[in-house]
Amino acid sequence: MSNWLKACEPVRAQPRLWVETLWLVESREPLVFTRTIDLHAGLNIVWAKESASSEASGLSSAGHGVGKTSLCLLLRYVLGDDAPAIATLRGKAAGGFPKGGVAAQVHVDGSVWLVFRPYGAYSQPMAAQCDALNQLLQGTAANDFDGYSHALEQFSIGRLATRSLPGTNQPLEWRHLLAWCIREQRTRFDGFYHWREGEGLGFKRSRRDPPLLVASVLGLVDLELDRLLRDIEAKQKQVEQCKERISELERAPTFALTHADRQLRLRVKSEEDEPVFMTIVGESLESRVQAALQAAELEERRLERDVEQAEDVLAGEQVRLHELNKARELAELTVGIAKSLVDANQADFERLTNERDQLEGLEGRCDHGNVEFNACQHIRERKSAVNMTWYRDGRQAKATAPELAERYEAQMREFDRAAKTASEQAHRISEKKAELRRLRVRVATSESSRALLKQSWSELQVQHTQRAIGGDTAELVEARSQLQEFETALNALRAAELSRRSQQSSRVDAIKALTAAVSTRLLGAAGHARFVSGHEFRPFQVARGGEAYQVLEVLLGDIVCLLDSAVSDASSHPGFLVHDCPREADMSERLYREFFLAAAEAAKQFGKDGAVPFQFIVTTTSAPPLELQGDGAVVLELEPGVDERLLFRRELMPTLPGFELQ
């Protein structure tokens, strides 16, 4: 075995994160274990053997359904994950072990935590830094699961130069990094940044955010580069928004012209196939607009004549109402005078007689004589005769009281007729006023509609002229100028990003060198793989094509990052990695064998005094290389068809619902 990692010197003795023991707890009271799995730093192989019996059925001989993926889910569970796939497994396990759960001894950045997480949905998780598991389960050690969760966040995400993603400011979480560290089988290892299938990691940008997380974890993003990336994201967003606005402004004249044309045609009932402007023969939109304007003007003139006639009629009716009101008031005063005579009330008689005289025009100024009525001899003689009238009418009232009463009743009837006539006239005037208002509203509406039609036609002509000329609007010119400024600023930021990345070339070169060393060991020759910093899909690339090499790119990248965590303080990778059956993702047998051997050799070359600075757990249905089957690399052997060799020592769900024996 060549020392192909001789140029790499470990900077730590143990991984930042590793699991030493995993217990499947059947019951807490009394404490009964279903299985205890001892793990170690370095390579740990969980081998699901195919059945050795030739009589085993196809269902029980394929090495599936024995608990490989369940083991990976339980590792995720004790490390703080609560994904839907884990909840499904817990539901199955709780059916067989209602008081059970999974416990683990977890090393987090030099501290040792004992953790217990129940299968059941209603029990509380537990964690403490204590010496024995029974202390945690029996409650003699204080439960500090929140402290454990905080420790997982701090040792991983807490080490990063920035704890949020550029562009969205989404906070990074331990579960994001854990998804990379424990790859599931369902993704078929089809992409370096494809970590979960159907669960969702909560990334706002599923394509762009995982590469940013990986770059931060590998120490390829410092504070200055992070600031540049955030500025680039913001400026890129401005560029995209400006381009969208320009596109809208470029389409706006056509849309506006089409909309204006359609609205105008609907208004004047012009067919779509009619031309816009007048021609020698046939109708056009212009001719219909002109006809509509002329018709509106004629209608307005007719309405204005009707308004004038209505105003004249109203004036006459108002004069008539004035006369009727005056007659009503005279009748009312006459009734009062008659009543004062009947009642022999001289004061009312004189007051009412004066009011009647005022109403009849005996007060004020005489226009004919150009003198005040008080200076008119005729008026003075009439006023001085009031008392004589009173004495004469009074004596007559006493002599002819019955006749005077009858006259009073007649005058009352005359007053009622006058009042009724005046009221009817007032109602007639209200109707005339309402009719006049309606006419005026029709005139105003017609004028407004005609003005709007004229304006719409003028605007349509302007739009046609602008389209024929082909000039840009001032708003579009300004938007294009702004886009040029944004793109210039964006290019400057990208140049600064490239300059900053070039300053970090030593970090990139270190990963490139490690990639070359690992790929040379796996492929047997140098130059067939490379690390491409910043690539959004394939940061680790193999020169060959095919699905086997596609899977190899993922494995190569993970192993490089795992080993890099052991030799570089700049990396924030936990040094912990779990792969669930990569062999089943169409990887060739030869490559798979070399992959196992390379991981084992790296553990030996980095190991000092039995301490290895990384932990790699991999499940497989294919037999590991013979060299590894007897040196402690295989930590668990599972086998279908034998209960004792199943992960839970029984099938959690032997038969799917609906397939029960009848």
**pTM for this prediction:** 0.66
Residues 43-69 have a mean pLDDT of: 73
CA angle 262, 267, 271 (to 5 degrees): 60
Residues paired with 108 in a beta bridge: 17, 111
> With 60 as the cut, is the pLDDT of residue 481 above it?
yes
51-57's contacts with Cβ under 8 Å and 24+ in sequence apart are: 51/639, 51/640, 51/641, 51/642, 52/639, 53/641, 56/640, 56/641, 57/641
> With 60 as the cut, is the pLDDT of residue 537 above it?
yes
CA angle 9, 11, 16 (to 5 degrees): 130
Output the pLDDT for position 153: 96
Q: How far apart are CA 63 and CA 41, in angstroms?
A: 26
> With 60 as the cut, is the pLDDT of residue 524 above it?
yes
> With 90 as the cut, is the pLDDT of residue 117 above it?
yes
> Using 50, 70 and 90 to split pLDDT, how confident is the model at 659?
very low
Per-residue pLDDT tens over the stretch 153-186:
999 999 998 888 887 889 999 999 999 999 988 8
Helix (H, G, I), strand (E, B) or coil at 27: strand
Helix (H, G, I), strand (E, B) or coil at 615: strand
- The whole-chain average pLDDT of the chain stands at 85
> With 80 as the cut, is the pLDDT of residue 553 above it?
yes
- Of 353-362, 391-400, 518-527, minimum mean pLDDT range: 391-400
Helix (H, G, I), strand (E, B) or coil at 558: helix
Per-residue pLDDT tens over the stretch 270-310:
888 888 888 877 888 888 888 899 998 998 888 888 888 88
> With 70 as the cut, is the pLDDT of residue 502 above it?
yes
H or E stretch covering 186: none
H or E stretch covering 50: none
> Using 50, 70 and 90 to split pLDDT, how confident is the model at 385?
very low
Q: Which candidate, 505, 483, 498, places its Cα nearest to that of 228?
A: 498
H or E stretch covering 463: helix 401-469
Residues paired with 577 in a beta bridge: 616
CA angle 191, 195, 196 (to 5 degrees): 125
Output the pLDDT for position 404: 62
> How large a percentage of the chain has pLDDT more than 90?
44
Query: DSSP alpha helices (H): ranges in 470-538?
Result: 474-503, 505-523
> With 80 as the cut, is the pLDDT of residue 31 above it?
yes
Output the pLDDT for position 371: 58
> With 90 as the cut, is the pLDDT of residue 141 above it?
yes
Output the pLDDT for position 414: 79
Q: What residue type is assigned to position 202 of the chain?
A: G
Residues 452-458 have a mean pLDDT of: 89
- Of 44-48, 189-193, 401-405, minimum mean pLDDT range: 401-405
Strands 615-620 and 42-48: parallel
Output the pLDDT for position 167: 77
Contact between residue 522 and residue 556 where contact means Cβ atoms under 8 Å apart: yes
> With 90 as the cut, is the pLDDT of residue 403 above it?
no
Per-residue pLDDT tens over the stretch 334-382:
778 777 777 777 777 777 777 767 766 655 555 545 556 556 555 455 4
Strands 371-372 and 17-27: unpaired
> How large a percentage of the chain has pLDDT more than 70?
88
Residues 379-401 have a mean pLDDT of: 53
Residues 550-566 have a mean pLDDT of: 94
> With 60 as the cut, is the pLDDT of residue 640 above it?
yes
Gyration radius (Cα) of the chain, Å: 51
Q: What are phi and psi of 115, to 5 degrees?
A: -125, 140
Residues 617-625 have a mean pLDDT of: 93
Residue with structure tokens 């949905």?
Answer: 121
Residue with structure tokens 């003689």?
Answer: 381
Between these two residues, 528 and 402, which has the higher pLDDT value?
Answer: 528
Listed in sequence order, the residues at least 6 apart from 47 whose beta carbon sits closer than 8 Å to its beta carbon are 619, 620, 621, 623, 624, 634, 636, 637, 638
- Of 115-124, 403-412, 464-473, 506-515, minimum mean pLDDT range: 403-412
Output the pLDDT for position 613: 96
Residues paired with 22 in a beta bridge: 37, 104
Output the pLDDT for position 386: 45
CA angle 614, 617, 619 (to 5 degrees): 160
